[in-house]
Structure 1
């Protein structure tokens, strides 16, 4: 039923090279108010054309921390309010995206993507203990490359040779500038290898 609805929506929206998001949510009447709520699952299907490949984004540090001890830390939900506020702050200050840190000062992710960095030929990403989301593209990279999952402060990005972001929406995007530091223009071989996997 879901696949059939997805195919119809792709056709109706004339998506030829695109992406989709399928969201399941509790559509039942609230049991808080009447105790007789009927169980019901709602489905939201969205499609869109894939945008042009983007590389060499600029990155800053968000002043809005993530609480890694929250019961919602690491939970993928439809509430992006904090992330949207953080990315709006970054853009108003001249950056495309921003790194969010947790209450211990550890890197968690970017506002709308996971973050990876390369130092001395090794690939790193924040561990789930930091409160980051376990994104699907992050998981893809973990399956196809030797990655150390760590808890690190923001200084490691300042000392990194390369930094890149991953998400289902943007794929793998290399960072061109972090704060005031410019990174090499060419794609790193690890980034290329992962993209080709």
Structure 2
């Protein structure tokens, strides 16, 4: 179902800037036992994105209430929230947009995540690279054509997820997940100051690792660094953490990092 500006409907004005320019942001939350996991973090993510995109959205209490209400009655599911600048004018200027649009929807929880957590996944290097833009790096804006192309190429392979580099050849993320790799007690994750999405589960994992026996480091690294790792895991707010068993000809059997993170991410369902 869709809830647009508080009303049950599934149509949006063609003039809305989400459709005209991808002018907005979104977040995707896990529903578990009728609750939105990491609700406060998802609200903060949207607030940060709106601030960076200069979208004057203010109805945060209403949005949070709608998110909570939509989750009730669902044992599991996916809650997606989109905020666009709204409608106004033909050109790029958003000066006449006074009423941002909020769009909420609920869909089924991906059944394959349980198998992924059990068996691990395979990665394949994507031929599509992410453009570097520090003004947009980190946020989950609505311009997702890069991910659409990454996914289209991924679907032509046998791999489960894509290993995505930026235009300079640095590891950035997967198609729909962040990643970590471990070498000994050192855990590495890509810097996201030039490209990529700083996911909620990535942030949570880094917080947990900061208080562990592991040392977490954000790096600019090439594919070779990943292939030399002892272990690789990927994460997002839905999975929430999944081990990687292979990337190309390189395979991994260790799950030391995964076994540390997985129970923490599952137990902390809401903040």
Return the alpha-carbon distance in structure 1 between the equivalents of residues 97 and 206 of structure 2. Answer: 40
**What are the ranges of 5 or more consecutive residues in structure 1 without an aligned counterpart?**
none
In structure 2, how many angstroms separate the alpha carbons of the residues matched to 1:159 and 1:18? 36
- The structure 1 residue matched to 2:74, chosen from 3, 15, 18, is 15
Give yes or no for contact 1:15–1:48 (8 Å, CA) kept in 2.
Answer: no
Counterpart position of 1:178: 247
- The answer on whether the counterparts of 1:87 and 1:96 sit within 8 Å (CA) in structure 2 is no
Which residue of 121, 124, 143 corresponds with 1:79?
143
What residue is the counterpart of 2:123 in the other structure? 59
Deviation larger for 169-178 or 41-50 = 41-50
Distance 1:155 1:44, change over 3 A: same
1:195 and 2:262 are equivalent in the alignment? yes
Structure 1 residue 98: Cα displacement = 1.0
Name the count of aligned residue pairs: 193
* TM-score using structure 2 length: 0.64
- In the TM superposition, what is the alpha-carbon distance from 1:102 to its structure 2 partner? 1.4
Displacement of 1:38:
4.5
Give 1:192 deviation, angstroms: 1.8
Contact kept, 8 Å, 2:122 with 2:245, in 1: the verdict is yes
Counterpart of 1:2? 63
Give me the TM-score of the superposition, normalised by structure 1.
0.86
Greater percentage in strand: 1
Q: Is the 8 A contact 1:130 1:151 kept in 2?
A: no
Runs ≥4 residues deviating over 6 A? 33-36
CA distance in 2, matches of 1:132, 1:172: 18
Structural RMSD (CA): 2.3
